[in-house]
């Protein structure tokens, strides 16, 4: 879905739990997008469109999806329809603010159904004050972080530095994407975030106990169905696998989460292998080697 064609609108996703400050953060993003034709899709859980009223202004085209999460299977059709309607007015940017309960791991599967839109990046806003308590009850918080390209620890002004650091450590266990701190949703300029767009490979994290990150490579092509089988077997052992690789049916984009495996035809010259992220405590290399052997004869290089 990533494209350099300037006529294709960029889609930016803002996720985060209830009360984490998504709307305030989005308003700040919008202030930096002045002058662009901008569409906004808002999804409010439980009470209809309070967020959309906060955001509504003559400058934007706002659509809202109420009564559930955009990525609930029974709301996906509404989301696609809202996006299709929005694309008719040729926006340059589309911001999607999800409900606090949204699990955004399906978005890459859904966007092709809506039309020509380039998925630029996904933010996850984390409330520094209550993340640790919330994640114990609501596993979706971890899924939101794992699916994001940039994590913002918000409301750091309301907690101690020690608390912020604890939250950061918890996030680093799940992902190696850049983590920024914010107060009132204000963080680095948007230009800095753009460097963290999907597939750009930027990572600002340098702390040692982050999840294991590996790159998988092999010579030549593999059978696409066997590749799918291999990824299905691996999905319960990893947090994320993504990247491009060659199959007998051409180049494919692989995107694997703990609950889904996508292997879709793609156009790319950047065949650098598959990036894999797993929890540090998972004995991933042995699992990888055994699983690979079950599907393929050729050697798997793990770096």
Partner 1 sequence: MELITGSDSGKKLLFDSLERKPVSRAPWVPFAGIHAGKLKSYMAIEVLKDKRKLLESLLEVNRLYRPDGQPVLFDLQLEAEALGCELVWSDHNPPSVCSHPLKGNKEIPARVLDESSGRIPMVLEVMNDMKREVGDRTALFGLICGPLTLASHLRGTDFFMDLIEDAEYTERLLSYTKDVCIAMTDMYVRAGMDVIAFVDPLVSQISPRHFQRSLLKVFGELFRHVKSCGVKSSFFVCGDATKNIELMCQTGTDSIFVDENIDLSSAKAITDRYDIVIGGNIPLTTTMLYGTQQDNIKYVVDLIEKLGTERYIVAPGCDMPYDIPIENAIAVQQTVSDMENAKRILENYEADDTDVNIELPDYKNLPRPLIEVFTLDSATCAACTYMMSVARLAIEEFGDLVEVVEYKSTVRENIARAKAMGVRNLPSIYINGKLKYSSVIPDRREFFGEIKRLIDS
Query: Would you say 47 or 208 has its CB closer to partner 1?
Result: 47
Q: With binding defined as CB under 8 A, does residue 66 bind partner 1? A: yes
Nearest distance from residue 217's CB to partner 1, in Å? 27
Q: With binding defined as CB under 8 A, does residue 51 bind partner 1? A: no
Q: For the chain, how far is it from start to end, CA to CA, in angstroms? A: 27
Give φ, ψ of 181 to 5 degrees.
-105, 150
Nearest distance from residue 225's CB to partner 1, in Å? 12
Please identify which residue in the block is written with the tokens 């998504």: 22
Rounded to an integer, what distance in angstroms lies between the CA atom of residue 30 and that of residue 33?
5
- Selected from 60, 61, 138, 199, the binder of partner 1 by CB under 8 A is 138
- Selected from 27, 56, 67, 246, the binder of partner 1 by CB under 8 A is 67
Parallel/antiparallel/unpaired status of strands 212-217 and 179-181: unpaired
- Which span sits near partner 1 by CB under 8 A: 69-77, 88-96, 199-207, 270-278? 69-77
Size, binding site for partner 1 by CB under 8 A: 36
Element (H or E) spanning 172, and its range? helix 161-172
- Cβ atoms within 10 Å, residue 175: 25
Q: With binding defined as CB under 8 A, does residue 133 bind partner 1? A: yes
Rounded to an integer, what distance in angstroms lies between the CA atom of residue 126 and that of residue 151?
7
CA angle 213, 216, 221 (to 5 degrees): 160
Q: With binding defined as CB under 8 A, does residue 18 bind partner 1? A: yes
Positions in the binding site for partner 1 (CB under 8 A):
18-19, 45-48, 66-68, 72-74, 76-78, 80, 100-101, 103, 106, 109-110, 113, 130, 133-134, 136-140, 143, 236, 258-260
């Amino acid at each position: 879905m990533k494209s350099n064609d300037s006529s294709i609108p960029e889609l930016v996703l803002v996720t985060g739990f209830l009360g984490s400050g998504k709307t305030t953060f989005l308003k700040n993003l919008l202030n930096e997008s002045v002058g662009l034709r901008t569409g906004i899709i808002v999804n409010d859980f439980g009470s209809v469109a309070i967020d959309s009223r906060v955001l509504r202004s003559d400058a934007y085209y706002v659509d809202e999806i109420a009564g559930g999460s955009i990525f609930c299977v029974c709301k996906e059709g509404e989301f696609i329809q809202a996006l299709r309607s929005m694309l008719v007015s040729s926006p340059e940017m589309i911001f999607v603010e999800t409900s606090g309960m949204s699990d955004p791991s399906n978005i890459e599967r859904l966007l092709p159904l809506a039309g020509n839109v380039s998925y630029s990046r996904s933010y996850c806003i984390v409330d520094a004050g209550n993340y640790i308590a919330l994640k114990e009850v609501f596993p979706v918080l971890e899924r939101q972080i794992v699916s994001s390209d940039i994590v913002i620890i918000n409301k750091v002004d309301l907690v101690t530095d020690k608390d912020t650091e604890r939250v950061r450590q918890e996030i680093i266990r799940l992902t190696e994407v850049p983590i920024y701190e914010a107060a009132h949703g204000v963080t680095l300029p948007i230009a800095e975030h753009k460097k963290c767009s999907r597939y750009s490979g930027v990572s600002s994290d340098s702390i040692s106990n982050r999840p294991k990150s590996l790159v998988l490579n092999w010579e030549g092509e593999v059978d696409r169905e066997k590749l799918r089988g291999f990824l299905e077997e691996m999905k319960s052992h990893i947090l994320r696998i993504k990247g491009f690789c060659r199959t007998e049916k051409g180049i494919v984009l692989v995107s694997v989460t703990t609950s889904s495996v996508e292997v879709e035809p793609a156009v790319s010259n950047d065949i650098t292998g598959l990036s894999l992220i797993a929890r540090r405590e998972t004995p991933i290399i042995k699992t990888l080697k055994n699983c690979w052997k079950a599907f393929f004869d050729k050697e798997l290089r793990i770096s």
